[in-house]
Homo-oligomer: A and B are copies of this chain.
Amino acid sequence: MMIKEHSNSWCIVQDVMDVAREGFYESLFSLGNGYMGVRGFHEDDTQKLPHERSQFIAGIFDYIDSGITDMVNTPNYLHTKFMVEGEPFDINQGKVLDYKSILNMKRGTLTRTILWENNLGQITKMEKERFISLHDLHLACLRYTLTPMNYSGELVIETGIDGSVRNSPINDDQMKVNNKTIKLLTKVDAEASQGSGYLEMITQTRKEAVAESYVVKPLTNQEHIVENTGIQEDCYVGSRYVIDGHEGSAYTFEKYISVYTSRDGVEELKETTLRLSEEAGRIGYAELLRQHELAWAKKWHIADIQIGENQRIQQAIRYNIFQLIQTNAEHDHRVSIGARGIMHGRYKGCYFWDTEIFMLPFFLYTNPEAAKNLLLYRYHTLEGARENAKAMNLKGIKYPWMSSADGREQCESWDTGSCEIHINGDIPYAIDHYYQVTGDVDFILNYGAEIYMETARYWSSRFSYDEKKDIYNMLFVKGPNEYGGVTLNNTYTSFMALHNIQLAMEAISLLKEHDQWEAFANKLDFEYGELDQWQDILDKAVIHYDEEKQLYIEDQHFFDLEPVSLEDFKDGETPLYKKICFDRLQRYRVLKQADVIQLMTLFPKAFTMEEKLVAWETYEPITLHDSTLSFGTHALFAATLGLDQVAWDYFEKSVVLDIEDVMHNTDTEGIHSASLGISWQAIIFGFAGLVLEDGGLSMYPRMPKQWGKIQFNVVYRNNIIHVSIMEDLAEVTLSKESPLDQMDIKIWDQLLSLEKGKIKQLNKPVTQPQDQTLEQLG
């Protein structure tokens, strides 16, 4: 019986086997639970090189060079070999009669069915299913079924854990070919016996232990198994079953994998690891899958966004949400989310501003605890940021452009690592966003204030005072637009810096209110002269603004750049830096991605509609969107300007970015995490028009005409708000009980009419009843 399923808004189906597209599907079909991620490669793909069988665990990094780490490619627990009559089940040989891979996002499973005829005309059906449990983060389960369709003969299945994986660290320089692989893991312990195995390896320098064990169980027709052995070789443990295969009989094997590392704080690593795979084997695949699906159901209940009839976009929206959830270690406050999550080694697994500016809002409005943990990662890496500022001979703390587990700078390109400093303002911005949405005063008092103050100190030493003109310049800086050179007074960066200083000053008031200021000031050796200097900077920092045009200018020399026609340049969606080097691009008046516009999306209330329109008219026509951070930002901004069609066009590109491989690099670079996040923002902040103002939430919906409706939830100050917008109706309901745990939502009704085609403010539609907080109900 072949699977009849087709693509729908929950399922992505690949029904043609195409070797050239396998890399793309491997990225697309990545599975994870935040703790660990595996790419969608075939368990038994004999062509895969050791560095291509990528399985990552959040926070497991090791040094590959002096001071430089890479996310470690961990032992491959998917490893499986299938043999038919002594020959490998190799879909590159013989004939594939039917092929289907299905990623089911609702269930969180990857299912594959292959009907394969070998050169002797023997037809074998293989069914494979895997999931990485969202219920138990240390658990992965696989199920294989082999059926000899038109013959009887010997079948062999061997499955285990392969530790001969390698890392292939990809250079910062996007144009440089990578040809090195590195072995980062050494075997510590290995055991294999009938139907189970254990492999423990340790990273080379940081000595992080990675322990994996499995139990494999034959489920059907066990009487046909003629041999069952454990295999142990070098860095490999496996179990081998030889089957006297009967025509038409299905042979199903279930594999239960347990993964723990030295980061997990368990006392007895080996025992803990073995215990879980054994217990899983006892509980059984069906029950484990049920628990996993339930965990996903809880996620979807809060995080799903439903639109009208557009199945392609509905599927893409869900894919964005699905991967955001999969790639975030929501319970672990010691890690953040890499630019390619835990699904690809690109950017060495490092964390960028992508997390705080692009991804965090999704978690902030659907799972605030996860957002808090992401921000706590930055607090835990204060020391690295302090060292980084010191290394740059500046005060306070400087968050690295590329951060790995311990928060030390991993960027090796000087112009980016040293000059693209706005991240130091982006993180405080995100903390403030968290505070505004959650009202979590304790977070500011305990963590946020220190970050605000220390980043403000950094900025105060990063501005250069010009005595003659009595101004503060931000010299040698690079804004978000990475085609811009190292230039002066980038508006985005300076605005962020000033906002950061303001946050620090506000935090002082908050600390005073809570009688914590004195102790805090002592701890940080705060001097009041610092405050004067901050105020002086707020008064005198240069922001280039053309009063007449009402134009915020990207940086001091933006209009010294050579004007060009984009038509002469652009070649489909291929980024221009593949044709023109960065050195040349910096002298052209083009943008790689949103810069001033990025700023305006972050501070929707700080600019007039006229300023926004002028910025749009100035920058949008010369923006190449050669960064995946750009489409979604433009969609969001266009929506807030009421530019419906262009908003939709940008949104479409952003939301299908990976699922339709818009950038032609989803195969080699993995899933673009920031694009997942900004697509979500484009819907919520753009189309639904949600905005924080006057101490509350407002909405200015601009429903795309392509959609009949939109329904979603946001968590605001411990309440879950269900929003439903239909053409001319917006309905907002507030849950009275904690649905995060109970999924039991009661309706708190508030009906609002919207005049079609007009923007109408829902003045603070939601108040926060004191008696309805999650904490009280949870």
Contact = CB atoms under 8 A, between A and B. Distances in A.
Contacts of A476: 485-487, 583, 586-587
B583 A464 contact: no
A560 interface: yes
Contact of A66 (B66, B177, B468, B582): B177
Contacts of A419: 583
A571 to B, nearest CB: 14
Contacts of A468: 559
A561 B393 contact: no
Contact of A560 (B414, B415, B464): B464
Contacts of A464: 560-562, 587
A584 B392 contact: yes
A466 B559 CA distance: 8
A541 to B, nearest CB: 14
A488 interface: yes
A468 B586 CA distance: 19
- Of A67, A393, A419, the most chain B CB neighbours within 10 A belong to A393
A762 B557 CA distance: 49
Given A485-B486, A486-B485, A560 B475 contact: yes
A485 B419 CA distance: 11
A581 interface: yes
Given A415-B414, A587-B476, A562 B465 contact: yes
A536 B419 CA distance: 34
Shortest 6 CB-CB contacts between residues of A and residues of B: A393-B584, A418-B583, A476-B485, A486-B486, A393-B580, A464-B562
A415 to B, nearest CB: 5
Interface string A564-590: 000000000000000011111011000
Interface in A578-625: 580-584, 586-587
Contacts of A485: 475-476, 486
Nearest to A563: B467
A4 interface: no
Contacts of A583: 392-393, 414, 418-419, 476
Contacts of A475: 485, 557, 560-561, 586-587
A179 interface: yes
Given A415-B415, A486-B485, A473 B560 contact: yes
A533 interface: no
A581 B393 contact: yes
Interface residues of A, number: 39
A394 interface: yes
A21 interface: no
A413 interface: yes
A20 interface: no
A176 interface: yes
A485 B486 CA distance: 9
A391 interface: yes
A584 B394 contact: yes
Contacts of A176: 66-67
A242 B258 CA distance: 66
B486 A391 contact: no
8 contacts: A393-B584, A414-B415, A418-B583, A419-B583, A475-B560, A476-B583, A485-B486, A486-B486
Contacts of A177: 66
Nearest to A391: B581
Interface in A461-480: 464-468, 473, 475-476
A710 to B, nearest CB: 44
A66 B175 CA distance: 11
Interface in A458-508: 464-468, 473, 475-476, 485-488
A677 to B, nearest CB: 29
Nearest to A462: B587
Given A66-B179, A475-B587, A587-B464, A488 B557 contact: yes
A622 B179 CA distance: 45
A176 B409 CA distance: 14
- Of A391, A415, A468, the most chain B CB neighbours within 10 A belong to A415
A520 to B, nearest CB: 28
- Of A393, A413, A485, A583, the most chain B CB neighbours within 10 A belong to A583
Contact of A414 (B393, B413, B584): B413
Interface string A39-71: 000000000000000000000000000110000
A332 to B, nearest CB: 31
- Of A179, A476, A487, A580, the most chain B CB neighbours within 10 A belong to A476
Contacts of A466: 560
Interface in A99-123: none
A406 to B, nearest CB: 18
Contacts of A559: 468
A642 B276 CA distance: 85
Contacts of A465: 562
Contacts of A486: 415, 476, 485-486
Interface string A307-341: 00000000000000000000000000000000000
A418 B580 CA distance: 14
Interface in A361-389: none
A485 B415 CA distance: 11
Contacts of A467: 563
Interface in A384-435: 391-394, 413-415, 418-419
Contacts of A586: 475-476
A693 B583 CA distance: 39
Given A560-B464, A560-B466, A560-B475, A581 B66 contact: no
- Of A67, A475, A559, A586, the most chain B CB neighbours within 10 A belong to A475
Nearest to A488: B557
A226 B157 CA distance: 69
A253 to B, nearest CB: 43
A484 to B, nearest CB: 10
Nearest to A177: B66
Contacts of A179: 66
Nearest to A416: B414
Interface in A530-576: 557, 559-563
A465 B413 CA distance: 28
Contacts of A418: 582-583
A487 B415 CA distance: 13
Contacts of A473: 560
A66 B488 CA distance: 34
A235 to B, nearest CB: 25
A483 to B, nearest CB: 12
A230 B650 CA distance: 77
Given A66-B179, A414-B583, 8 more contacts: A66-B176, A464-B560, A464-B587, A468-B559, A473-B560, A475-B560, A476-B485, A476-B486
Interface string A337-357: 000000000000000000000
A413 B412 CA distance: 9
